[in-house]
Chains A and B, each alone.
Chain A
Amino acid sequence: MSEIIAPGSPEGTLLQLREVVKVYDSGDVPFTALKGIDLDVHTGEFVGIIGKSGSGKTTLINMITGIDHPTSGQIIIDGTPVHRLGENDLARWRGRTIGVVFQFFQLLPTLTVLENIVLPMDFCHMWAPKERVERAMNLLEQVELADQANKLPAALSGGQQQRAAIARALANDPPILAADEPTGNLDSKTADAVFSLFERLVEHHKTIIMVTHDNDMANRVRRALHVSDGEIVEERVHRPRVGA
């Protein structure tokens, strides 16, 4: 397969996956988790990935974030051929382009909430050092955590930790946010709040890709991809909800 995709996004496409295959061969027999995924995502889209446990959702989002490498196929994001980047370039690129939100929040336990949010800016040398705290506080205000800024993550509830993690994902102002079951560990009310936060971000022109196995959530996103056995078997497009 050597279908060449020109750099750049001709029709406003932010993210392109072409024939992405992922084979895990750490087990006894090689296991094909993704069987040739093709996907285009446009700027400002809110994409939900749904499917049963073990269907390949995490594997797919890891391909997009560059957290894991495809066995074959191409991934072009904002003109960058992600599948060709080495670990270091990938880290720097990811730090500026994609904010990652994990199911288990993954805040660093020994840093305060505020410091956790400054950390990506430090790593990627974004903003002048003096502006970083101010920016982090702004983000915390957006996620309504300004009053928790100087606490350690362990002192926060699950919902608060996840909102802090989202603020951290936004630290370098990346165009894309990728979240793997961000509400999986939250009660429905808290999950709702997090989801509303995502909706607000989309209104501010962020592109969001979110894995969920919650059908309710899936119904609220504009575009839902149904993954089964490593393939996208169905795609539903909803009209955007009016209001918020």
Chain B
Amino acid sequence: MRFVRWRKVLRDLVSHRFRTVLVVLSIATGIFAVGVVMGGRAILLREFNAEFTASVPLNADFFTMPFGDQIVRRARAYPGVAEAMGRHTATLRYRWPGSDAPRSLLVVAIKDFHDVTVQRIVPEDVRSWPPRRDEVVLERAALQVGAYKIGDTLVVETRTGEKKTLTVSGFAHDINAVPAQFIGAETGYVSFETLPDISEAESYNELLVAMKGTDLTQREASLLAEDIKRDVLGNNGIAVLGVYVPKPGSHFLGDIFKAVSLLLLALGLLSLLLSGFLVVNTVSALIAQQVRQIGIMKAIGGRASQVTWMYLGLVGIYGTLAVVIGVPSAAWAGKRFIQYAAGVLNFRVSSYVPPDWVTALEVGVGLVVPLLAAIVPIRLGTRTSVVRALTDTGVDSTSFGHGIVDRALGLLRGLPRPVALSLRNTFLRKGRLLLTLTTLSLASAVVMSVFSVQASINQTTDDLDAWWRYDAQIRYPQPTAQAATERVVASTPGVTGVESWIGALATLDRPDGTTMEGIGLLGVPYNTTFIAPTVLAGRWLQAGDTDAIVVNTDARQAEATLDVGQRVTLEIGGEARVVRVVGLIKGQLSGPALYMDRAALAPLLPQAGITQTLVKMASSDSAAQRSVLDVAENRLEESGYRVASTRTQAELRDQIASELGILVAFLVIMAVLLAAVGVIGLTGTMTINVIESTREIGVMRAIGARHGSIYRIFITEGLVVGLMSWAIGTAAAYPMSYGLTALLSGAIGLPLSYRFSWTGVSSWLGIIAVISVMASALPAFRASQVSVRDAIAYE
């Protein structure tokens, strides 16, 4: 009894249970959104970077002719090199009981598994480590593609065409391995003693080098790689087939990571803003409701400061409850989110504990924002003169714009009474309406933008389809006879057309003496009907083009000298040739590529033959195409032609879509969270409106209004707000989705086509209509249950 005023605060909390739950839920939603998104992002980056750094990523990767430990020791001792190691890699086709079609296995053979100094591998679930002879430990991303189990047998086809069995003896994690779902090939680790069994030489053919220096630039890395290539490999008689120098410190999924992280940051800031709105809205409505009581307290001797503290206390309790609910649930959901992300992006998480600043931010959203939000309305409430407070009706009749609204509504005289009344109610609570509308409009815009980004991704893959006029592709491990392979493939039932291409790697010699290694160069018949390139500048290839190349946008972006009209020097087949860039075509999401007429390229290469067969098929069904392709592969093998890989364009399309799908999944999470914030906001607003109208409802009931009419008034009100936010959101979604698509495009380095999703707009219209009705039905139901006596006696 000592502090009766605090007792009032507690009593208010308990006796207005519904309101308390709503306010706490609103604040908790804000904490949740910020916690999941900001915490998720922070943990994702922290764990990923920690594991990536600990793995000792490489700075240069040399693919070479066989070499031994001597070379590795030299590389290790080379100035500027931190670590070096050799390994043997080979891509083999294999069959596995879990899949009908042959698959590809990237075999990584390591001499000493206890001395992996670059690109460390972590055994996770292994029966034996290192793998014993004829055992293979799969990189765990394989589990994302198929239900591999320890003890499964993989029948691999060796270089010499023999079939050998490897037994799966466990799963390991290698953050630097490209996850199976992205390249359609599993990575497997074997011991050196297994190599002879699968017809591979017991020597290294890949040199991994990690360089010294924490802020190494790509140029420095390239220059050092050049030196190593010359001094360590070339001068010791080891021919280098290709060198890969990644941007130092960047993971191959780094771009996707950057995009995801950007999206999360954007979402985090948005949800911070929205939850701020939500809290301001709820708290000011709460105070507005209490103006009369504030007046009474002041009339019986309460000082403004005492009353202010009471309400700050109330808000503080709401905030504390919200923190108690919001922080753990954000931690829980954040963990699920990270687990999902760690699965698709294939990294290990050692701790789900968010950094302190995230927890501080959550507490800030839960306590500081509500208290700050409350100060202004509380000050206004306690400053209101007692007379005004005592005559307060909940609707501020002197506020700006009142007259305009009434006049505007006057124009709508034809409306039925209940509708006119709800419109009036809707507009009169302008401030709150504005905040709710902003929140819900933003949420709507984001949801519809997500639909559009999804549509843009579909558009992009549709564009791919338009470019691909063929259905499947067969690649050979080495140059292969054109006429014979074409004959075998073309005679396979279901095949309607074939064309052969030559793929080679070229090196670009820059004027400044540096080089760019391993650019894909494709020999394509100039008059091909198997692709329909989109020419952006210059022209496509034509008959008699002996020294002309066409570049795609990815190549142009990677290398500025590859501009239309330029002459550049390319090392093709070991010899330097000057070629002209005659055209620029749109890239196909598969990296930089140069195109040359097949007839012009063939004579430049040391070995005759083609490297890939493109296939057109009768069926457009993906499964049917796959089985035709498997038959073709078997027939090629029977005829003695080894196949490196096969894929239908539908599979490639799915692969690209699934890569982009990760982004869409994150976007969907983002949209759902924001929509939840919006919905809770709307429910809150409707509840407050209903509470404020309790007396009005009583009067209407007293003069004969039935439950149904009262229901209709509030539901109309909720619907009006919902539809308005849909309209505003649609207008905002156009630029927002365009920007988002451009952002993604830039972040992942893929040119995405843009498409606005009208399906999204109409679907969201349906969804928001249902949501608005539900958000207002609950409070309206409560309102209609109030007895006339209680309603009129309210407060």
Contacts and interface: CB of A to CB of B under 8 A. Distances in A.
Given A122-B5, A123-B306, A129-B1, A168 B300 contact: yes
A79 B5 CA distance: 30
Given A67-B387, A108-B8, A92 B301 contact: yes
A120 interface: yes
Interface string A1-33: 000000000000000000000000010000000
Contacts of A109: 15, 795
A199 B302 CA distance: 28
Interface stretch (B153-161, B291-299, B428-436): B291-299
Interface string B1-37: 1111101100110011000000000000000000000
B305 interface: yes
A94 B387 contact: no
A96 B301 CA distance: 7
Interface in B356-403: 383, 385-387, 390, 398
Given A106-B296, A110-B8, A129-B2, A87 B301 contact: no
Contacts of B12: 110
Nearest to A96: B301
A62 interface: yes
Give the one of A94, A96, A99, A119 with max B CB within 10 A. Answer: A119
A115 interface: yes
A123 B385 contact: no
A39 B300 CA distance: 24
A119 B8 contact: yes
B304 interface: yes
Judged by DSSP, the binding face of B is: helix
Contacts of B1: 115, 118, 129, 132-133
B219 interface: no
Interface in B224-266: none
A66 B2 CA distance: 28
Contacts of B301: 91-92, 94-96, 120, 123-124, 172
A6 B300 CA distance: 28
B303 A91 contact: yes
B404 interface: no
A147 B386 CA distance: 32
Contacts of A99: 300
Interface in A82-133: 87-88, 91-92, 94-96, 99-100, 102, 106, 108-111, 115, 118-120, 122-124, 129, 132-133
Nearest to B298: A91
A120 B293 CA distance: 13
A92 B302 CA distance: 7
A111 B300 CA distance: 15
A88 B385 CA distance: 11
Interface residues of B, number: 32
A129 B305 CA distance: 20
Nearest to A100: B299
Interface string A162-180: 0000001101100000000
Contact of A65 (B11, B297, B299): B299
Nearest to A115: B4
A70 B386 CA distance: 14
Nearest to B790: A154
B383 A87 contact: yes
A118 B299 contact: no
A214 interface: no
Contact of A119 (B5, B390, B398, B795): B5
Nearest to B387: A68
A119 B300 CA distance: 8
A26 B299 CA distance: 22
A122 B4 contact: yes
A15 B400 CA distance: 40
B385 A68 contact: yes
B387 A100 contact: no
B793 interface: yes
Contacts of A92: 301, 303
B385 A119 contact: no
A182 to B, nearest CB: 14
Given A108-B293, A109-B795, A111-B4, A95 B386 contact: no
A106 B306 CA distance: 19
A123 B11 CA distance: 17
A133 B4 CA distance: 10
B304 A118 contact: no
Contacts of B398: 26
Contacts of A65: 299
Nearest to B12: A110
B390 A88 contact: no
B634 to A, nearest CB: 82
Nearest to B389: A67
B791 to A, nearest CB: 12
Interface in B447-485: none
Nearest to B299: A100
Interface in B272-315: 292-293, 296-306
Interface of A: 26, 62, 65, 67-69, 87-88, 91-92, 94-96, 99-100, 102, 106, 108-111, 115, 118-120, 122-124, 129, 132-133, 154, 168-169, 171-172
19 contacts: A62-B387, A65-B299, A87-B304, A91-B302, A91-B304, A92-B301, A95-B302, A102-B296, A106-B299, A106-B390, A108-B293, A108-B296, A110-B8, A111-B11, A115-B8, A120-B300, A122-B3, A122-B5, A124-B301
Given A99-B300, A123-B297, 16 more contacts: A68-B385, A87-B298, A87-B304, A95-B300, A95-B301, A95-B302, A106-B299, A108-B293, A108-B296, A110-B16, A115-B4, A118-B1, A119-B4, A122-B2, A123-B300, A123-B302
* A-B pairs with lowest CB-CB distance, top 8: A95-B301, A110-B11, A129-B2, A67-B386, A123-B302, A68-B387, A123-B301, A120-B300
